[in-house]
Structure 1
Amino acid sequence: MFVLEVKNVNKHLGKREIIKDLSFSVKKGEIFGFLGPNGAGKTTTIRMLVGLIAPNSGSICIMGHNIKTERELALSKVGAVVENPELYTYLSGKENLMQVARIRKISKEKVDEVIELVQLTDRINDKVKKYSLGMKQRLGLALSLLSEPALLILDEPTNGLDPSGILDFREIVQKAAKETGTAVFVSSHILSEVQQLCDTVAFINKGVIQSVESIKNNNEVKSASVTLITREIEETMELLKTLSVVEDFSSKDNIFSLKIKEKSVSELIFELAKNHIHIEEIFKNHKELEERYMQLVEGGIR
């Protein structure tokens, strides 16, 4: 059984169609990206998923419960962080969590467990008004995880966060999905975030899903694109010619563009270090999602 199953959902406002025959599913422990430009229908979809508006036709089921006919049961399995989380800024982070815990009869042990998961242990007793935006996002995430939701919905979760905050938030979400089996639905227009965070992505434009594709463990991908920056230009060039993991490479000054066998980055780094090549930077290039987005959403690669 899927945690979230959306079948043939349509939504219109007056004569204008906003969502057209939307269908997708999300399974336990999966991080599902909903990727599209502003105005594509992402926010309308989320409002339907959390029961704020109803579809004109089609069905939305959460843990087998239809949101239209079993609204309370379906939504009891959902946690959400939509835009900026609503927090009592004059209370501490812990007091915010305890307010919800008392209402929902959640144990103090569970509260402490969630605080540790979102990495707020050191600051949980500070007033929320002293929190950075990233800390507020983490506290909002903690609030949504308190009731152990089967489905976690995140709407543009990294908006306004600095690079460090984005990395922290991504790590927490991935950990929650892996350790608790929570299914995560992430709406975003940021390609790099979806690439780094998600297992599966649905490309949506003008209310229509163009494609649903796996972006993790893609068995069709046999090679990886890597950029290497080093001072030892001649030595690096000679070494790369001898390595079996390197399929092709080119260089411009001290920047090398490599095509290597998939999952061979660690082996490449080992060989460079073994041969005393100083690495200034090395990173994988994530072009695949960008190119696919341009094909499906923008009508072609620029």
Structure 2
Amino acid sequence: MDYVIQTKQLTKTYKDQHAVDKVALQVPKGSIYGFLGPNGAGKTTTIRMLLGLIKPTKGDITIFSKSLTKYRLDILKKVGSLVENPSYYGHLNALENLEVYRILLQVPKERKQEVLDIVGLSYAAKKKVKNYSLGMKQRLGIAIALLGDPDLLILDEPTNGLDPSGIQEIRQLIKRLAHERGITVLISSHLLGEVDQMADYVGIISEGKLIFQDRIEKLRQRAQAKIRFQVKETEAAWNVMLAQGLKADREEETITVQNIDKEKVASLIEKLVHHQISIYRVEELTQSLEEIFLQVVKEGQGNVSKTMEG
């Protein structure tokens, strides 16, 4: 697999405390990589090291197959970023703000209108930024990050503080950038449900350690589906299930069966009916992604990180 970002043993220590501890990121080319973790887990510190804003205590960073230490300026020319709050001049309009960065990046003037079109801000190009909504300011920040026509976009909590409409706008924009323009996007967040709607891959960091990294489908597969039966005679039904070799948890009026597929559910219902046991309800219980996230964080604390398969 072709990785745009790879880190080895990436560590940042402050006064003997590991803010980031031996992190091994692998961000595939052309993907949207969700970098997840609770607040204070080490996401922003990692991103700042990727952008050369702070130096690692130890470890290596490779971007575009080049060492960040040796080729920092060449690499960063192809990287756009939005870390925490976007930088802008409130008394200037969007075009004037972009002109400041255009001069610094030495890109053609027409690029300003191009990025405004990409982020959907052309209609407000001459409106003072201090009068923008928070969502508009975030989109302007992304427009600034896109000015240099980057191959890699790094966004730190870009939907933080936005209302549902603003979150949806940013989400759709990020998906377009990756899928239509081929930009690799690393996006950090503390909300798994948000990342799940756009990411292809996910890495979870907790207490500075990378505890999970793989396709997001692999994370979903960790959810253990359960089937709950509400029956008239729970003890009799429970005995039937045990006789079938099933793992079943009995309560007063319900029995919950774990790791059972559709065919076994149908067969079990037939067995219960055969034994003249009345069935009132059959329902599937699944873990939410947030529950899986919390479970992974809990299990992963202090453990060695899981690296990407394939």
Q: For the superposition of Structure 1 and Structure 2, which TM-score range results when normalised by the shorter chain?
A: 0.7 to 0.9
1:40-51 matches, cutoff 5 A: 40-51=41-52
User: Residue 166 of structure 2 aligns to a residue in which SS?
Assistant: helix
Counterpart in 2 of 1:117? 118
The aligned counterpart of 2:249 is: none
Tell me what 1:206 maps to. 207
> Shift of residue 218 of structure 1?
8.7
Does residue 298 of the first structure (1) align with residue 286 of the second (2)?
no
How far did 1:214 drift?
Answer: 1.1
Alignment of 1:57 with 2:58, yes or no, is yes
Higher alpha-carbon deviation: 76-85 or 211-220: 211-220
How many residues are paired up? 242
1:108 aligns with 2:90: no
Identity of aligned residues (%): 46
Paired letter, 2:130: K
Deviation at 1:103, TM superposition (A): 3.0
**Secondary structure class of the residue paired with 1:147:** coil
Distance in 2 (alpha carbons) for counterparts of 1:68 and 1:43: 19
TM-score by length of 2: 0.72
Report what 2:183 is aligned to: 182
> Deviation at 1:111?
2.1
Q: 1:41, 1:206 within 8 Å by CA — same for their partners in 2? A: yes
Secondary structure class of the residue paired with 1:107 = coil
How many angstroms does 1:220 deviate by? Answer: 6.5
Residues 182/286 of structure 1: CA separation in 2 closer, same or farther (3 Å cut): farther
Q: Is the 8 A contact 1:87 1:96 kept in 2?
A: yes
Using a 3 Å threshold, how does the CA distance of structure 1 residues 100 and 10 change in structure 2: closer, same or farther? same
Structure 1 residue 298: Cα displacement: 2.6
CA distance 1:205–1:217, change in 2 (3 Å): closer
Secondary structure at the residue paired with 1:72?
helix
The residue that corresponds to 1:82 in the other structure is: 83
Could you list the runs of 4 or more consecutive aligned residues of structure 1 that deviate by over 3 angstroms after TM superposition?
216-221, 285-288
Post-superposition offset of 1:15 = 1.5
Structure 1 residue 48: Cα displacement? 0.6
Match of 1:193 in 2: 194
Give the RMSD, CA atoms, in angstroms: 2.7
Deviation at 1:194, TM superposition (A): 1.0
Q: CA shift at 1:34, angstroms? A: 1.0
In structure 2, C-alpha distance between the alignment counterparts of 1:156 and 1:220, rounded to whole Å: 26
Give distance in 2, aligned partners of 1:163 and 1:294: 23
What is the TM-score of this pair, normalised by structure 1? 0.74
Alignment pair present for 1:147 and 2:148 = yes
Quote how far apart the aligned CAs of 1:135 are: 0.3
1:265-286: CA deviations, max 9, x gaps?
xxxxxxxxxxxxxxxxxxxx99
The alignment partner of 1:91 has SS state of coil
Cα distance in 1, alignment partners of residues 170 and 52 from structure 2: 26
The within-5 A match list for 1:243-262 is: none
Deviation at 1:141?
0.3
Name 2:138's counterpart in structure 1.
137
Give me the whole-angstrom Cα distance separating, in 2, the residues matched to 1:87 and 1:186: 21
8 Å contact from structure 2 (residues 38, 190) kept in 1: yes
Unaligned segments of structure 2, at least 5 residues: 226-261, 263-284, 301-310
